[in-house]
Amino acid sequence: MESKLKAEESNSTIMRGFVLVGFSDIPTLRWILFGIFLVMYLIILMGNGIIILITRIDPTLQNPMYFFLGNFSFLEICYVTTTVPRMLGDIWTKKRNISFLACATQMCFVLIFGSTECLLLAVMAYDRYVAICNPLHYPLVMNHRVCMQLLAGSWISGLPFEIGQTCQIFSLPFCGSHTIHHFFCDIPPILKLACGDTYVNELLVYIVAVMFFMVPFLLIVTSYGKIIFNILKLTSAKGRAKAFSTCSSHLTVIVLFFGTAAITYFQPKPDQSEGLGKLLSLFYTVLTPMMNPLIYTLRNKDVMVALEKLLPKLLTQKNDLKL
């Protein structure tokens, strides 16, 4: 019995990494998946990059709403870059090994960017609430200093909690299988590999999820509840339509992101199937960031006008360089 315990202990200490299965369980679609994910990643970079550019240079978009939108697009690029390049490299090389430190680092950044996204979406909902429900005081309430404080708070608030959560998860003994049935180091598949008692870790997952998921979500629901109530009081049909169009794109993003992430993190270990976990993770880590630029441009008249002004300038500069 004693020798068995020593063997398990040595296995947990010797194991220095994991194997990310990713999408290797469907080898016949290897290159098709590589092409699809590469195109999606390029669309994310280009689409969000264009939004960052136009919100920085277009004079008509110099207000808090587009300030937060530009930062949200930058966050989306950071968020996707923590997972997709690694996934593409694994598909290309077939080398699925990931070191213990690299896995922990990836999880930490995914959690940090994910919590920042939840908080930033809540901040954007508050911005729309002030703009629609208290328009006369909007420039005063959402001044540049307040916007910078809200943005900094969104980025910084989750750091100690997510770093602490990552450290706690990776302090668990992993003495059994070291194969992660996922395409990145996420909490549910990692907890499945732990051979110790994970009750405290699962409890912490719920606590952090409530803090950085449920609380922002409730703030968003409250803000939009008041927004809808005020919109319905407007006598002008044109005014109601304009107010709804301003908020509809943001609401669409919220439903896509919060809906899929909720299913993942509110059942962190026992009941989630591997295939469903990967599919849901693809939604909130890849598909939603890819769709965000389309949602914000196609459903936002100001952004479309800014794009129409920007594209001829870019084409002119391109022709000048050729000459």
pLDDT value for 163: 93
pLDDT at 71 over 90: yes
Q: What is the pLDDT of residues 3-22, one digit of tens each?
A: 443 444 444 434 568 988 88
The answer to whether position 199 is within a domain reads yes
The answer to whether position 19 is within a domain reads no
DSSP 8-class letter at 82 = T
Cross-strand bridge partners of residue 17: 99
Residue 267 binned pLDDT confidence (cut-offs 50, 70, 90): low
Question: 7 vs 285, which has greater pLDDT?
Answer: 285
The answer to whether position 78 is within a domain reads yes
Residue 133 binned pLDDT confidence (cut-offs 50, 70, 90): confident
The answer to whether position 14 is within a domain reads no
The answer to whether position 289 is within a domain reads yes
Which residues have C-beta within 8 Å of that of residue 115, sequence separation ≥ 6?
Answer: 157, 158, 161, 162, 208, 212, 213
The answer to whether position 232 is within a domain reads yes
DSSP 8-class letter at 83 = T
Q: DSSP readout, 41-76?
A: HHHHHHHHHHHHHHHHH-GGG-SHHHHHHHHHHHHH
Q: What is the pLDDT of residues 175-184, one digit of tens each?
A: 777 888 888 9
Residue 140 binned pLDDT confidence (cut-offs 50, 70, 90): very high
pTM: 0.85
CATH code where residue 187 lies: 1.20.1070.10
Q: Rounded to 5 degrees, what are φ and ψ at 18?
A: -130, 170
- How many structural domains comprise the chain? 1
The answer to whether position 161 is within a domain reads yes
What domain range is 93 assigned to?
A: 29-322
The answer to whether position 144 is within a domain reads yes
